[in-house]
Structure 1
């Protein structure tokens, strides 16, 4: 019924590390049915700190079998059994990865005795294997060795079952018992308390510092999606181990969650966020007149002493925006420096005729610097979410009691929470306004 497993490894993630020892205890729910253990040659040097922790040296594994040589037997022992380990995702990810590398497909239901212990024996300060074994008087004959830890985990499982844990185990095995996929240091209550609403979530490390900020249309679903899958890469595994707590802020809509996410990334600069962590206002669209009297629009890096007509943080956004102006106002792509396949276009229009179209494009950009509100119906409360832009600058956002409150700008301001502007959210709001013009209400000052 159960395969209780412990492994020792050369490192913390499966993709770049090997297994140095494995022990499997077969258990039918009442008694031990059999045991298997072996050292394994990981084919990579064992780091000194791992040698110090486990006592397993390079000399000890030099003549041990390779994992591929024992993979078939391990697969046979595990097949059809519930996989049990303390901090189960660590052992499971290693064994599944290395079985797959040996050409063997394997997947199993999992039980984590660390999480089971939290439910069966509440109130213990720490639930690491060594600490809980000392608390429950479980002997460990060889800590940080696979056989000793697997035997201790077996006794721990038996104590959980004696505690009336059969129902607990059944509940954990249900698909909806999502806590089994959670990072090892994250209490399940932090996920259970997440609402199914739009918002922004924050992952915190052991010191409470924010290490990642994300946005979601459904907070609970999005947060759980971070923990699914079996990515064994070093970066992801390190990320999961650092998550100790979650906090969140609910938002009325997905758009307002996206805006708050951008603001918070710029404010907190979390170590695991990559996108949006770049310099602001890198590119702008500029207007100039050439020697023949033609007005030209061009993308260039933003200059300190020259204000662009519109600014972008990403070059591709600037290119897409200018291409749209070219199509909407029948401008020349070569004269806008978008088409470099030829050196110069032979414009048939006179400067006056062509420049009139350029001025219309400039007027479009200036109008986008107007004062307006983006109004959406809140997904949960059905109130009106409002994002206020004044003279082309993002002012803030909030919730209005109804659309009639969106008539006077002074009244709107009383419902708004101001936030700092950045180029990422400016591009976001510009794209959203283009996509949903019916949700934009122009306002007079």
Structure 2
């Protein structure tokens, strides 16, 4: 281990993200792989107020940093101490992102190989109850003074680092600091085996937090490559920093095709509602076509906002789509315009709300409403998309029934599908929505040769 020198670093800051917050204190301990050979620390004037919660955590006040150097004044010193050394810290990406950002602002280009003592401790000292710095120090009888101050935490991390080196009979650290090592890019709390097991195949992957709750769902043509892309780069946004720190596990489900991965991702996001998924949460139809009956016995067709517990006949992204369809139905089936509403009422309308003109026969009118609804149902086709399977022994199947996504699954190649009932035995039902049907519709137009009607 004496072939390398290590810069063991701890910083205190005004907040949790490198772009909006600033360093208030820094300690750098130089370690040659055997012992500490140099040590430096200083308070830093962050040129912004220290929030009360940060003061409560660290004890660093605005008065303490008022006469301290600003980061520009110490940037050259920091750069010199870090250059050509392996960067070591507890939850290394936090400290690394701050220093990378502030050195860049001060005109210094810097990057380094990283070693996270959280990850190293998990590998070299497995089975401990917790790998936070405080709990590790208690478990390993390491003295930790001035907790949440840069000097105290850096001193404890240096002792921890020395213990890890002494216990590293399997050369774990040597593997971790290789430029090509996965540990250079994996989040601090993610077990490497979770990443190593990922296949280079299409499918859906799930990120879990410490409580094993799904916090992100993604889809990919190549699961391993896509997951790795989440961990590359040195983005300093608070969202990304929190995201990476929250990842404690990964699981996956292989899909035969990219379309199946897209559909599964969409349904899983709607079902699990993960914290860090945002885009697909917004793909919900906003308006629907509804049918209701007034106390007079007359039935209405109405366009209204989609309600959580209201089942609509059709759904639309915009109210204009709904209005156009309702006008078309009114003309095609000779439905009196007074029974077509372009805003769903909160309370069903009684008879006397209609003007005094001669009204159509109620039975004949309601029969026309039935015909319009039946027309919409008949216009929704049922079909299957048959494509390659996960192996040569199966085919993938996506089943659409009456214009709605019913489900998907895999059918053995030696099974002949002659009716919908048999096909349904092989597919797992999922909830449909307009976005899913858009995906399926676009695919069906592009690959009509993969569509069959049963």
Aligned residues of 2:113 and 2:179 also touching (Cα < 8 A): no
Q: Secondary structure at the match of 2:282?
A: coil
Give the alignment of 1:148-159 within 5 angstroms: 148-159=152-163
Alignment correspondent of 2:406: 395
Asked if structure 2 preserves the Cα contact closer than 8 Å seen for 1:395 and 1:420, the reply is: yes
Contact 1:89 1:181 in 2 (8 A): no
Q: 1:62 aligns with which of 46, 63, 66?
A: 66
Question: Residues 306 and 177 (structure 1 numbering): CA distance in 2 closer, same or farther, change over 3 Å?
Answer: closer
Corresponding residue number in structure 2 for 1:36: 40
Which residue is equivalent to 1:134?
138
Match in the other structure for 1:249: 253
Superposition deviation, residue 314 in structure 1: 7.5
- Is the counterpart of residue 177 in structure 1 residue 188 in structure 2? no
- After TM superposition, the runs of 4+ consecutive aligned structure 1 residues lying more than 6 A away are 300-306, 365-368
Question: Superposition pairs for residues 376-395 of structure 1, below 5 Å?
Answer: 376-380=387-391, 383-395=394-406
C-alpha deviation, 1:254, in angstroms: 2.1
Distance 2:92 2:16 in 1: 13
Structure-to-structure mapping, 1:198-277, within 5 angstroms: 198-277=202-281
User: Is the CA contact (8 Å cut-off) linking 2:255 and 2:390 kept in structure 1?
Assistant: no
Measure how far apart 1:118 and its partner are: 1.2
Displacement after TM superposition at 1:134 (Å): 2.1
- After TM superposition, give the deviation of residue 231 of structure 1 in Å: 1.6
Aligned residues: 381
Q: Give the CA deviation at 1:439.
A: 1.6
- Give the 3 Å change call, closer, same or farther, for CA 412–180 of structure 1 in structure 2: same
1:206-260 per-residue CA deviation (whole Å, 9 max, x = no partner) reads 3333322222223333223222222211222222333333333332322112111
Change (3 A) 1:13 1:381: farther
Structure 1's 386 and 306: CA in aligned 2 closer, same or farther, altered over 3 A? closer
Matches of 1:223 and 1:306, distance apart in 2: 38
Cα offset for 1:87? 1.0
Following the alignment from structure 1 to structure 2, what is the Cα–Cα distance between the partners of residues 385 and 203? 26
**1:279/1:109 Cα in 2 relative to 1: closer, same or farther (>3 Å)?**
closer
Partner of 1:426: 437
| Alignment TM-score, normalising by the size of structure 2 | 0.76
Residue 194 (str. 1) matches residue 194 (str. 2): no
Identify the match of residue 449 of structure 2 among 432, 438, 443.
Answer: 438
Separation of aligned partners in 2, 1:64 and 1:177: 38
Q: State which drifts further: 21-30 or 218-227.
A: 218-227
SS state of the match for residue 386, structure 1?
strand
Q: Is the 8 A contact 2:393 2:413 kept in 1?
A: no
- Does the CA contact (< 8 Å) of 1:283 and 1:302 recur in 2? yes
Query: What is the CA deviation profile of residues 288-324 of structure 1, one whole-angstrom value per residue up to 9, with x for unaligned ones?
Result: xxxxxxxxxxxx988999966xx554899x8xxxxxx
Matched, 1:114 2:118: yes
Separation of aligned partners in 1, 2:433 and 2:116:
44
Q: How high is the TM-score relative to the length of structure 1?
A: 0.78
The runs of 5 or more residues in structure 1 that have no matched partner are 286-299, 319-364
Matched residues in 1 for 2:273 and 2:52: separation? 34
In the alignment, the residues of structure 2 paired with residue 151 and residue 6 of structure 1 have an alpha-carbon distance, to the nearest angstrom, of: 9
After superposing the two structures, state which structure 1 stretch, 419-428 or 147-156, moved more.
147-156
Contact persistence 1:197–1:380 (CA under 8 A): no
Cα deviation, 1:333-388, whole Å, max 9, x if unaligned, reads xxxxxxxxxxxxxxxxxxxxxxxxxxxxxxxx999832221111125556211101
Match of 1:143 in 2: 147
Secondary structure of the residue that 1:405 maps to in structure 2? coil
Partners of 1:200 and 1:251 within 8 A in 2: yes
Name the CA shift for 1:439/1:98 in 2 (closer, same or farther; >3 Å).
Answer: same
Which whole-Å deviations, capped at 9, do the CAs of 1:129-175 have from their partners, x for residues lacking one? 12212222222232211112212212221211211357211211234
